[in-house]
Chains A and B, each alone.
Chain A
Amino acid sequence: MTALRPHRHRDSPRVRRRARDWGVELGELVGTGPGGRVTEEDLRAATAAAPPTASAAALVPAGGIAAVQIALPSGSSIDRPALVATVAVAALAALRRRGVMVSAVGRTALERTAVVDGAHDLTADALRRRLADDPPDAPCHVRVVDAGEVDAQVGLPRPGERAVLAVGGVRESVAVERGPDGMVAFVARASVTITIATEPQVPEFVSAFVLRQVARALTSA
């Protein structure tokens, strides 16, 4: 096993996120930044040496449909409305961060669409509160579909929409895990599949970024 350098979270949030996205173990790197911190360049060098395993980016064709299966934290009890709202908030924040202006976001249970006006001016908390309300219907740029038990299936964006995100049902499966003491255990694992379909003008890195943000929001819930 590689000797890990003592890791006291001196690396910046940005670098820690990149490391997670690119599948790099920070403790295995020698940082070249001030105080021995790992920099983005260090990460790039590390990923150039060993390309990261399949990420959301690899799954996303430009202007197409892409899906990720997200393992939910064990013991999580996310109810459907909270799950859909979390996806909506994460997707909106991600689009905003990538400079895609979003004037509204949808929260649907198939036929029901809720729209938040001026969503790009709201903080994530404010948006969550607004999503909990039931504002009137109006055209929206991102629709979030609760695909429920039928699993993540999604149509293409309608005119005026930039993307559609479908939240599948939570599936549980049984897995075998070996603990640190060598004991084998059967564990239940919950996962959910999120699908994104974008209009052709949305670049694939934006779709990939949205899916990563959604995955992060769900796994840290």
Chain B
Amino acid sequence: MAELTYRDAVSRALAQEMRRDERVVLIGEDVAGAGGVFKTTVGLLDEFGPRRVVDTPISEQAILGAAMGAAMTGLRPVAEIMFSDFFAVCWDIVANQMAKARYMTDGQVSVPLVIKSGNGGGLRFGAQHSQAIENWAMAVPGLKVVTPSTPRDVVGLMAAAIRSDDPVLFFEAKGLYPTKGEVPDGEIVDRLGTAAIRRPGRHATLVALGLTVPRALRAAEDLATRGIDVEVIDVRSLVPLDTATILASVARTGRFFTVEENPRLLGWGAELASIVVEEAFWDLDGPIERITTPHVPLPSADSLEDLVLPSAERIAATIEKALQQ
């Protein structure tokens, strides 16, 4: 058992899989010599050499085009898009090519690749380098969408993503890179489509993802001091989605809340709310509420960014008020 940071867990995960399978290669801007702009690929060039850890020019389309070609011809690449905001210049290849290749070729071609990307805010990077875009990604059929919230999950979910035979968008919560957690020794492989109950509770179900998981847990601890017992679920994987764990929790607690970093309109919590209403309406003991970033470009000013991202205080206040109404 070792204590690792979230950022070190990324390179630990990549090394685990690259040692196991020589078809796993890493490609992206500054992933080799520089060890990644967020230092998530440190040491990989030294261990695996320049044929398996490849620096590219500043061209997101070239990175993903090369990765897709490699995946179609037998490798299992991990491509890095430095900031997830840059997916905006990649959607043709991601949404029209990678996600559809299996279907357009009558199942003859699969695209086993992972696109890892720093996602979300909290680091004062401004509106073009801070977006949480998992809701863009989950709108495209054919893509899997994963966001770990702990160093252990970074390793386990990355391993599962690399072993998936279909494209996986692996969003690393930028705000969590310096956070630490215990990671067991030895190989760790998780399963996509499984949520984790981080804290059991009786009065409300609070579903969080990535950056909002530790905030949800802090809110739950705060509420516990006032007699409100909140169950916190870490979704971990939006596609595939573990509806069974979520619905079973709602059946127990009767109340459902989401806390999302993405802007409000059509955030992932809206889809979950829709599923809960359809599948667990008669278990609900009050209205569903979503706690989100408002529908604004993320401000770069410290005070404003802190204001719009869901804080532990806002989460706790929202739930407490809702349970009193």
Contacts and interface: CB of A to CB of B under 8 A. Distances in A.
Interface in A109-129: 120-121, 123-125
B247 A124 contact: no
A124 B277 CA distance: 12
A123 B279 contact: yes
A13 to B, nearest CB: 5
Interface residues of B, number: 21
Which of A14, A17, A101 neighbours the largest number of chain B CB atoms within 10 Å of its CB? A14
Contact of B285 (A15, A93, A96, A120): A15
A35 interface: yes
B282 A14 contact: yes
Interface string B307-325: 0000000000000000011
Contacts of A13: 281-285
B278 A124 contact: yes
Contact of A121 (B193, B278, B284): B193
Contact of A12 (B244, B247, B280, B285): B285
B200 interface: no
B254 A121 contact: no
Contact of A96 (B240, B247, B324): B247
Given A93-B279, A121-B241, 18 more contacts: A12-B285, A13-B282, A13-B284, A14-B283, A14-B285, A15-B285, A17-B282, A34-B325, A97-B248, A99-B248, A101-B244, A120-B243, A121-B193, A121-B240, A123-B275, A124-B278, A124-B279, A216-B282
Nearest to A209: B251
B278 A125 contact: yes
Q: Secondary structure of the A side of the interface?
A: helix
B278 A34 contact: no
B244 to A, nearest CB: 5
A161 interface: no
Nearest to B286: A12
Nearest to B253: A14
Contacts of B275: 123
Interface of A: 12-17, 34-35, 40, 93, 96-99, 101, 120-121, 123-125, 216
A96 B242 CA distance: 12
A121 B325 contact: no
Interface string B75-102: 0000000000000000000000000000
Contacts of B240: 121
Nearest to B249: A99
22 contacts: A12-B284, A13-B281, A13-B283, A14-B254, A14-B283, A14-B285, A15-B285, A17-B282, A34-B325, A40-B285, A96-B244, A96-B247, A96-B248, A97-B248, A97-B280, A121-B240, A121-B241, A121-B244, A123-B275, A123-B279, A124-B279, A125-B278
Contact of B284 (A14, A34, A93, A96): A14
A17 B285 CA distance: 10
Contacts of B282: 13-14, 16-17, 216
Report the 9 A-B pairs with minimum CB-CB distance, sorted nearest first: A17-B282, A14-B285, A12-B285, A97-B251, A13-B282, A14-B254, A13-B284, A99-B248, A120-B244
